[in-house]
Structures are given as structure tokens and as C-alpha cells.
């Protein structure tokens, strides 16, 4: 079953004469090509290394959250 992934905002709908002019993109699969972020991962020479710091720890706070800068 296909699901609508993207929809036009109501504020954008005013540009169109009717709902028939809306175009909905339907996708069957989404592939995630992103690379995992690590503290010492290779970066461009002019780019700073990413710094990943824990903000919330499950044992202490009941959830895991990390800050990326």
C-alpha cells in the first residue's frame, strides 16, 4: 500500500485553482544513505571534527540524548 509522504501546506494551496492541481509524491521505498557520525571520523581538512557529547543518560535520566556540535 502506498502512502502519501509529502503534502502541500495549506498556505501554499492558495496558489492553485483546485485540489486537482496538487501533486503528491508517492514512494514505495526510502533508502537511508547517511553515514554514522563518530567523534573521530574522517572530515575535509578545513572542517572541524564532530563533537558528540552525552546530554541525557538512560541509567540516570531514563533516556539517551546526545549533542552534536
pLDDT (tens digit, 9 = 90+) per residue, 19-59? 555 566 677 788 889 888 888 888 899 999 889 899 999 99
Residue spans of the domains in the chain: they are: 3-68
- Cα 5 from Cα 65, distance rounded (Å): 27
pLDDT band at 15 (very low <50, low <70, confident <90, very high): low
8 A C-beta contact, residue 49 and residue 39: yes
Whole-angstrom Cα distance, residue 54 to residue 68?
A: 9
The pLDDT of residue 30: 83
Amino acid at each position: 500500500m502506498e502512502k502519501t509522504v509529502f503534502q502541500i501546506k495549506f498556505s501554499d494551496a492558495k496558489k492553485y485553482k483546485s485540489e486537482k492541481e496538487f501533486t503528491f509524491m508517492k514512494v514505495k521505498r526510502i533508502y537511508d544513505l547517511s553515514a554514522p557520525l563518530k567523534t573521530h571520523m574522517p572530515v575535509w581538512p578545513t572542517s572541524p571534527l564532530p563533537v558528540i557529547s552525552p546530554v541525557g543518560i538512560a541509567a540516570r535520566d531514563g533516556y539517551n540524548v546526545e549533542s552534536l556540535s
